[in-house]
Structure 1
Amino acid sequence: MSKVTSQFQADGVLARTLTGFRARPSQTTMAEAVERALAQKSQLVVEAETGTGKTFAYLVPVLLSGGKAIVSTGTKALQEQLFHRDLPALRDALAPRKMVALLKGRANYLCLHRMNQAVAHSGELSKEQQSQLVEVRKWAQRTDDGDVGALNILQEDAAILPQVTSTVDNCLGRDCPDYDACYLVKARKKAMDADLVVVNHHLFFADMALKDVGFGELVPQADAVIFDEAHQLPDIASQYFGEAVSSRQLQELAHELKVLYLTELKDLRQLDKAADKLLGSLKDWRLVFPNDPMRGNWRDFSKQPAVQLAANVVAEHLEFLREVCKSALGRHQDLDNAYERCVQFLHKWQQLQDVSRTGFSFWFETTVRQVTLHQTPLSVADKFGGYLQRSDMAWVFTSATLAVGEDFSHFTEQLGIEQAESLCLPSPFNFNEQALLCLPRYLPQPHERDMPSALLEVVCEVLEHNETGGTFVLFTSHRMLQMIAKLLVNRTDRPLLVQGSTSKRDLLEQFIAAGNGILLGTSSFWEGVDVRGDALRCVIIDKLPFASPDDPLLQARVEDCRLRGIDPFAQVQLPQAVIALKQGAGRLIRDADDRGVLIVCDQRLVTKPYGGIFLTSLPAMRRTRSLDVALEFLDSLERTQEPTE
């Protein structure tokens, strides 16, 4: 028996030191596979369904190994949960001498230089930003790590945060007067010295992209990399191997130079003039796009004469700003930095106007005030796969949803993973007893006009029979969510929580506290949400989560498949939707004692040939076409909650 295997036995260290630990065969199997991968510096892909205990299954072998490891998670929230909740107890039990570190992206750390600049130029800030800056300065006196996530008094999107944190564009690096006190530098140094570093996927790929073009390293060299929530990797990797320029970046550059003119370079009138010209052209640039926020195909949209003209004017004014900065090089560090940014932005801007290149998706997204242009590679398999082959490291990819059936090829081919051992571990939960899957009869097709009212009636019937339990309603579009939210508000007096009304964390806290709440959510609530017990007894999904056909990256991948003679539906659209549905269904049963009903309101699961692929990928719940049977199951759960005499 290996050292790792022994930890998971009923009389092992984990059972003796961790409250509530129960040995699970699938968890031990995964831990042994991770142990082999670490020893052989090989590749491992593991689908570990809910309840397997995958976090401990990779952390135990990592802590017992002699090398240095990076653990990368899907989001900052999961990163903090892993570092603050799961890791401390395990480390204390198994490897108390191991040094661990949490490393986030630079935007998560207070920048002392930019905070001091904001204080010096506070007259340029709005009243709201000025009051927020006061809070930031108070907090700055007592923080040890500068992590702005601990600034609880401010909202996550507080207007002051961009003014007191840095970006790759405006960071002065070693030239910064506050370099020695920099919180980001300290966090990176701690990560360099640690045996185990917890990062998130965005930070990992930002670092990998920088290494690819020959810059420094954010994430230290390691002997092993473990990706949790690995199903997110293909899309995140595509973002970081692409290019993007936003009007917000250009506006921030112009505003910074205006402040520099007003405070440090008052004789350089041309700088103020050039910045104003760029700001004016960026306002005109936004006006050539539709008013409502959207995503679109830039290759098609850019053909319009008005769009081409507006893009050329932005380029012309950016060139003018670059030349003004160039004429004053050496007079101020911030100006020298701005000149470099002008050069980089202009190069990217011109690159993004050339949409004739193949192998990329060219797309844009807009908000009320901003426009961002993107160039995204259709495949990262060559780059990422080549990186794996060249590295002398172990690579572990795990998630509750990686396979379609038991086939991992959709995931591995996207990332160029060619030599991995693969493992599909079922959940230890008894889904046949704990859960019921309902596909209600007689519902309209998803696209039909009567569908919203039919969905509303399903929700209302569920609420009548799930009085003491909570209900999730998961949507594939914001439009349907808002429509049902408006209709539902007059049909129930239960706590109704709607995505977008406050932060995701607040919504979940309110939902759990309510006990019998109703939460309406879209994509961000389909995964990474863990609600146990009666607080979540029913999950309703409005329709199969196929990506929007208008999504420009999907359009480009579909077109690429057609050019290669491959069926885009089978190769791209279907596998993505299957994995997304598995994620949504995974919200229901989170514990061995959970009970509940999953209702999927999409007739295509029964009427289309591909419906079987979805169904075989879901946990082995009992199934019914009768909504009445599902409601009776909820009634039985209600009865178990009634107090006995």
Structure 2
Amino acid sequence: MHEAAGAPGGLAGQSVEALSEGGALARALPQFRPREAQLDLTEAVADAFERREVLLAEAGTGTGKTYAYLVPALLSGMKTILSTGTRALQDQLYHRDLPRVRDALGVGLKSALLKGRANYLCRYRTEQAKGDPRIVPGAQTALFQRIVAWGGRTRMGDLAELEALPDDSPLLPLVTSTADNCLGTECPFWNDCFVVQARQRAQAADIVVVNHHLLLADLALKQEGFGEILPGAQAFVVDEAHQLPELAAQFFGEGIGARPLVELARDALAECKGVSGALAALQTPARDLEQAVRVLRAALEPLPPRATQARALADPDASDAFETLSSSLQALQLALAAWRDSAPGLDACHARAVEFSARLGRWRIERDFDNDAFDDELPADDDVRWYEATPRGFRLQRTPLDVSGPLRSHRERSHAAWVFTSATLAVDGGFDHVATRLGLDDPRTLLLQSPFDWKSQALCYLPPNLPQPAAREFTGAMLAAVRPVLEASNGRAFLLFASHRALREAAEALRDGPWPLFVQGEAPRHVLLQRFRESGNGVLLGAASFREGVDVVGAALTVVVIDKLPFAAPDDPVFEARLEAIRRSGGNPFFDEQLPQAVIALKQGAGRLIRSETDHGVLVLCDPRLTGKGYGRVFLDSLPPLPITRTLAEVESFLAATTTA
């Protein structure tokens, strides 16, 4: 791989000038300050745009990578897709960052925000849900009425406009559509469909902001020849690109779950309105399907919550439950076949039953199915089939082990420029691991360190004399070593745990502490973070899913503690299958997969500490393997250049100095 290079000129020169001292951004935005790393990144992005090349760029926290890619995207005039990691980042990019840069540059390009269909109100399903017995009288009824009233006046139909609607509301499946239950052009509300209108706006826009889920759903649909959601583009910018391989594995596979099956049964009965005789014919098979779903969930209860298909089918009770589910699904499919011409909704339910029955059959067979769409890029048996039992249901999934082929194929067919960027892509200064997983062959690369002054702003503490992470007493010993740090910082800490068991143990041990405690799972994520920020001296406890998205600037977060090196769970069926595939091909599973993945995850957690030029803090890494194992140096060398100490007194002195500064 070679380094990004090229003297400013053309688009690159214009982009660098806009972000330089006295440039368009500095003139328009009072708080804007030029940054050398940002100028390097915008030059590389502009160069990739002009040459229609691939750029893989790590830009450390504080680089200002959003402006660095927005400026060339807007100045180029090219049709550009900007993809972010989450819907929250997508909204921030579209509603805050993009307008600021566009106004500063004085360009009049059209932009559009495009989300997946689950984010938009479905007029048809909302109409069908009126009077639905699943809407519990009281608060749910009142909220549903608010949704209906809002649906009559909204222009965009984006459910994010409804702040009172929780992300996990049971009303959401009733008022949104899925690719499976959408009636398409047969829908009586097709001409007023919010999803259709959003796609039309995207087709007409110069800059389209999406999230990775939508980007990948589009690629997966193209694999199967169903057309595209996103308009064709000349340039793609994939921010938070480290998330893409894992998400791609979901989208290039297929799944079936308890909720879609139950929704099929209930939708089939709801569609019987006005069709004489249909309810009598469909009631029994629909109820049998719901019962079969419940029986299968109960049969999975004694088994591991997440394991391979072989593990589930080896259990007699679970195997029988799968057979019953298959029979029930086929019975409903047969019953619907007789009524499919009576109403578009019943026809759509029949199509769903056919598809779900096929997915279930493919999941249960000993060898994976033949899918022509994947022949050239993803061998049919290069996957793992597994299940996951959730508190209220289950998921059956087929996941490909390698998505580099489909990703490479789509990228090459697009003939577009592609920029992949994130604060966490490189491992020990190299991009080989992520490039391989993304299907990038010899991309142009750029590694930019965070512009923060890590040597004065931060300190890394490696507590001495801790037991090995597998020891029973590890969490207790780790907390004993961390407590003096929390006392020195007066709380103001974020503790990140490798397991939920350790998280619970820590929460129990710290309940008697003098600091307000905020524990993942005890309140919605955004609520926890808001309370933590406002507390002034709180202690936030989280597990793996909190490694990203905790963005707390200022003194409220002064200490980040990571209990163990974040190696993926060895009992994860997909990860274990991936390691076995590497082993079969002659590779080294630890150095080729486990270590790089853990390094990137550690960098994500450590990145929560310093979020601005004025932040100060201590990173506490409690895993003794950092100094006791040879590979520990790879982790330390991949972190920002912060000083390391093993002395508690030095930590206390640092915190005392930063508190009084």
Map 1:116-155 → 2, pairs under 5 A: 116-119=127-130, 121-127=131-137, 128-155=139-166
Aligned partner of 1:504 among 525, 537, 544: 525
Aligned partner of 2:35 among 20, 24, 31: 24
Aligned partner of 1:486 among 497, 508, 515: 508
Aligned partner of 2:294 among 254, 263, 283: 283
- Per-residue CA deviation, residues 297-336 of structure 1 (Å, 9 max, x unaligned), is 2233222232222111111111111111111121011100
Write the distance in 2 (CA, Å) between the matches of 1:267 and 1:633. Answer: 74
Indicate the SS of the match to 1:319.
Answer: helix
Aligned partner of 1:55 among 66, 75, 84: 66
- For the pair 1:550 / 2:571, whether they are aligned, the reply is yes
Q: 2:278·2:339 contact (CA, 8 Å) conserved in 1?
A: no
Runs of 4+ in structure 1 off by over 6 angstroms are none
- For the pair 1:531 / 2:541, whether they are aligned, the reply is no
- For the pair 1:429 / 2:466, whether they are aligned, the reply is no
- For the pair 1:304 / 2:315, whether they are aligned, the reply is yes
1:374 is aligned to 397
Write the distance in 2 (CA, Å) between the matches of 1:142 and 1:338. Answer: 30
2:235 is aligned to 224
Write the distance in 2 (CA, Å) between the matches of 1:93 and 1:474. Answer: 39
- For the pair 1:589 / 2:610, whether they are aligned, the reply is yes
Indicate the SS of the match to 1:536.
Answer: coil
Q: Cα 1:257–1:129, aligned 2, differ >3 Å: closer, same or farther?
A: farther
Q: 2:309·2:364 contact (CA, 8 Å) conserved in 1?
A: no
- For the pair 1:254 / 2:265, whether they are aligned, the reply is yes
When normalised by structure 1's length, the TM-score is: 0.96
More displaced stretch, 340-349 vs 356-365: 356-365
1:89 is aligned to 100
1:383 is aligned to 406
When normalised by structure 2's length, the TM-score is: 0.94
Aligned partner of 2:56 among 38, 42, 45: 45
- Per-residue CA deviation, residues 234-289 of structure 1 (Å, 9 max, x unaligned), is 00111100010102111110011123346644454221111111112111111111
Write the distance in 2 (CA, Å) between the matches of 1:184 and 1:627. Answer: 56
Identity within the alignment, %:
45
Q: 1:404·1:575 contact (CA, 8 Å) conserved in 2?
A: yes
Give the superposition deviation at 1:141: 3.2
Give the superposition deviation at 1:194: 0.7
Q: 1:122·1:130 contact (CA, 8 Å) conserved in 2?
A: no
1:643 is aligned to none
Give the superposition deviation at 1:118: 0.8
- Per-residue CA deviation, residues 79-136 of structure 1 (Å, 9 max, x unaligned), is 11111121111011114311111111111111111111111x3345322532321221
Q: 1:544·1:581 contact (CA, 8 Å) conserved in 2?
A: yes
2:590 is aligned to 569
1:633 is aligned to 654
2:177 is aligned to 166
Indicate the SS of the match to 2:300.
Answer: coil
Q: 1:515·1:535 contact (CA, 8 Å) conserved in 2?
A: yes
Q: Cα 1:586–1:355, aligned 2, differ >3 Å: closer, same or farther?
A: farther
Give the superposed CA RMSD. Answer: 1.5
Map 1:462-473 → 2, pairs under 5 A: 462-467=485-490, 470-473=492-495
Write the distance in 1 (CA, Å) between the matches of 2:227 and 2:261. Answer: 25
1:338 is aligned to 349
Indicate the SS of the match to 2:271.
Answer: helix
More displaced stretch, 256-265 vs 596-605: 256-265
More displaced stretch, 443-452 vs 215-224: 443-452
Q: 1:292·1:367 contact (CA, 8 Å) conserved in 2?
A: no
2:20 is aligned to 9
Q: 1:355·1:362 contact (CA, 8 Å) conserved in 2?
A: no
- For the pair 1:412 / 2:422, whether they are aligned, the reply is no
Q: 1:71·1:198 contact (CA, 8 Å) conserved in 2?
A: yes
Write the distance in 2 (CA, Å) between the matches of 1:299 and 1:567. Answer: 25
Write the distance in 2 (CA, Å) between the matches of 1:26 and 1:463. Answer: 34
1:605 is aligned to 626
More displaced stretch, 535-544 vs 14-23: 14-23
2:219 is aligned to 208
Q: 1:26·1:52 contact (CA, 8 Å) conserved in 2?
A: yes
Count of matched residue positions in the alignment of Structure 1 and Structure 2: 637
1:365 is aligned to 388
Give the superposition deviation at 1:373: 0.7
2:244 is aligned to 233
More displaced stretch, 138-147 vs 221-230: 138-147
- Residue ranges of structure 1 left out of the alignment (5+ in a row): 641-645
1:447 is aligned to 470
Write the distance in 2 (CA, Å) between the matches of 1:360 and 1:178. Answer: 39
Give the superposition deviation at 1:495: 2.1
Map 1:62-101 → 2, pairs under 5 A: 62-101=73-112
- For the pair 1:619 / 2:640, whether they are aligned, the reply is yes
Q: 1:292·1:368 contact (CA, 8 Å) conserved in 2?
A: no
Write the distance in 1 (CA, Å) between the matches of 2:146 and 2:475. Answer: 45
Write the distance in 1 (CA, Å) between the matches of 2:178 and 2:340. Answer: 21
Give the superposition deviation at 1:459: 3.7
Indicate the SS of the match to 2:555.
Answer: helix
